[in-house]
Structure 1
Amino acid sequence: MPHLSVHALESDLAGRETTLIEKLTEAVVAVYGEWARGIVVVQLFGLPPHRWGIGGAPAVAPSPSVTFGIKEAAFGRPDADEIVARLVSGVTDAVVDVFGERVRAGVTVELVGTRAGRSGVGGVVVTS
């Protein structure tokens, strides 16, 4: 299942949660198709400014970062490069739609592949 974890400053995130969840879900659906809508998981983490550092100092106005959990098998598909590019672009655009163009240059999207048999749901190992 596509699983997106978003870290942003709490002050930037406050009041925008629902819109961000909707836009990120739409970005995933635009790549995978409507069937994926019901399995997209979005978790939002708001941080106070003094808990986000860049270069050894508290960050002044960091852009949100997104970790996107995806099945590792997606990276082995013939169209993997296109899928990765569309996911990175779509997720970045969704974040920018919510937070504004000022964040675009710093938005990070990290796609993290999970191999079959290396995760579980409800106490059962997921093998596919």
Structure 2
Amino acid sequence: MPHLTVHARETDLTGREPALIEALTDAVVDVYGEWAREIAVVLLIGVPEGRWGIGGKLAEAPAPRVTFGIRAAVFDRPDATDVLSRLTTTVTDAIASVLGAQMRPGVTVEFVGSPDGRTGVGGALVAH
């Protein structure tokens, strides 16, 4: 299941939450296909001013950071580089389309793979 956790400044998110959730879900669907729409999860975490640092100093206007949870098996596919590249592009495009083009150069997307049998839903392990 694709899970996107987006950390962004609270002021950048306020009032744009529905549009960003929709755009990020569409980004996942653009790469995986329509079947992924119902299982794509987007979590937006707003960071208040003064609580984001880069290089030991307060960040003035940090771009969003996305942790993208996917099945670890994706990394072993022959087309892994293409899939991850396409996801990076579509997620970055989605953020820039909603929060502004000035965000694009700093958007960070980190892929975190979950091995089969390492995810639980509703109190039970999910076998992929």
CA deviations on 1:52-108 (whole Å, 9 max, x unpaired) are: 111111110000010000000111111111100000000000000011111111100
Distance 2:8 2:37 in 1: 23
Q: Which one-letter code corresponds to 1:126 in the other structure? A: V
Distance 1:54 1:35 in 2: 38
Mapping of 1:23-62 within 5 angstroms?
A: 23-62=23-62
Q: Counterpart of 1:91?
A: 91
Distance 1:34 1:47 in 2: 31
| Aligned residue-pair number | 128
Distance 1:120 1:73 in 2: 17
CA deviations on 1:23-54 (whole Å, 9 max, x unpaired) are: 00000000000011000000000011111111
Overall identity of the aligned pairs, in %: 61
Distance 1:80 1:55 in 2: 31
SS of residue in 1 equivalent to 2:63: coil
SS of residue in 2 equivalent to 1:42: strand
SS of residue in 1 equivalent to 2:112: strand
In the superposition, the TM-score normalised over structure 2's length comes to 0.97
Distance 2:100 2:11 in 1: 14
What's the RMSD between the two structures over aligned residues?
0.7
Extract structure 1 runs of 4+ deviating beyond 6 A: none
Deviates more, 1:58-67 or 1:118-127: 118-127
Mapped pair 1:70 → 2:70: yes
SS of residue in 2 equivalent to 1:83: helix
Mapped pair 1:13 → 2:13: yes
Distance 1:64 1:111 in 2: 15
